[in-house]
Chains A and B, each alone.
Chain A
Amino acid sequence: MRNRLKVLRAERDWTQAELARELDVSRQTVNAVETGKYDPSLPLAFRIARLFATTIEDVFQPEEEP
């Protein structure tokens, strides 16, 4: 799954640690989500969307079919 988390974070000039604190997760989790190594749970995806005042679909998009 692709996501815009890094872009959204950069727009607000937040560090990964700051975002992690806001989301109540580890910085490693933020990093793994940003790099696409880990897909967050639905509750965390909702928290991310709510934090950036947007929708889940705006943050996360499925990989395009080959």
Chain B
Amino acid sequence: MEAKRRWFHNPCQTTERDRRNQRRIIAWSLLWMVSWTAGALAIGREWLAAEAAGVVAAALSAGLGIATLLAYRRFLREADELRRKIEIEALALAFGVGIVGGMTYWLLGKSGIVAEAEIIDVLLLMILAHPVGILIGYRRYS
């Protein structure tokens, strides 16, 4: 129990390499989210001509998104092996929750029981399921 408590409060439990790679992911993710939000605002509020804004926003967002993916791939390749296992199990959970949840909700939406979902809802579901999977993994192997 003491060991478990210590783990959650002591970042030294992970390797320095993992922490460095995680910082890279966070930095690229933030840039990506900022660019995506700025692009969505620019298009929505018509700050620029819709077509030009769309092209610029999509290109910038895609570029930074790819950089985020590459940072994440590097993290997975270089990660401590247990951390990698936890991460992959969390990804599997997020993917499963997204697919099963999305398909189930789609059926409910088509039958009129709930409002029809959009793709962004499924993505949000996956984004929320991922950290839950990470926590489950930490608890399982601690």
Given A31-B3, A37-B140, A38-B141, residue A25 in contact with residue B13 (CB < 8 A): no
Task: Tell me, in angstroms, the Cα distance from A29 to B138 when the chains sit together.
Answer: 11
In the complex, A26 has a CB within 8 A of chain B: yes
For B85, what are the chain A residues with a Cβ–Cβ distance below 8 Å? Answer: 38
Complex contacts, A1 vs chain B, CB 8 Å:
none
- Give the 5 A-B CB pairs with smallest separation, nearest first: A29-B82, A32-B141, A26-B80, A27-B13, A26-B14
Q: How far is the CB of B104 from chain A (nearest CB, A)?
A: 32
Most chain A beta-carbon contacts within 10 A, residue among B13, B14, B85, B138: B13
From A26, A31, A32, A44, B15 is in contact (CB under 8 Å) with A26
**B interface secondary structure, majority:** helix
Binding site for B on A (CB under 8 A): 17, 20, 24-29, 31-32, 37-38, 40-41, 44
Query: What residues of B have a CB within 8 angstroms of the CB of A29 in the complex?
Result: 80-83
User: Residues on B close to A: CB < 8 A?
Assistant: 3, 7, 12-15, 18, 80-83, 85, 138, 140-142
**In the complex, what residues of A have CB within 8 A of residue B18's CB?**
26
In the assembled complex, which residues on chain A have CB atoms less than 8 Å from the CB atom of B142? 28, 31-32
Docked complex Cα distance between A45 and B17 (Å): 20
22 of the cross-chain contacts (CB-CB < 8 Å) are A24-B15, A25-B80, A26-B14, A26-B18, A27-B7, A27-B13, A28-B7, A28-B13, A28-B82, A28-B83, A28-B138, A28-B141, A28-B142, A29-B80, A29-B82, A29-B83, A32-B82, A32-B141, A32-B142, A38-B85, A38-B141, A41-B81
A25 to B13, CA, bound (A): 9
Tell me which residues across on chain A come within 8 A of B80, comparing CB atoms.
Answer: 25-26, 28-29
Inside 8 A of A32's CB, which chain B residues have their CB? 82, 141-142
Contact A27 to B82, CB < 8 A, known contacts A32-B141, A37-B141: no
Whether A26 contacts B141 by the Cβ 8 Å rule is no
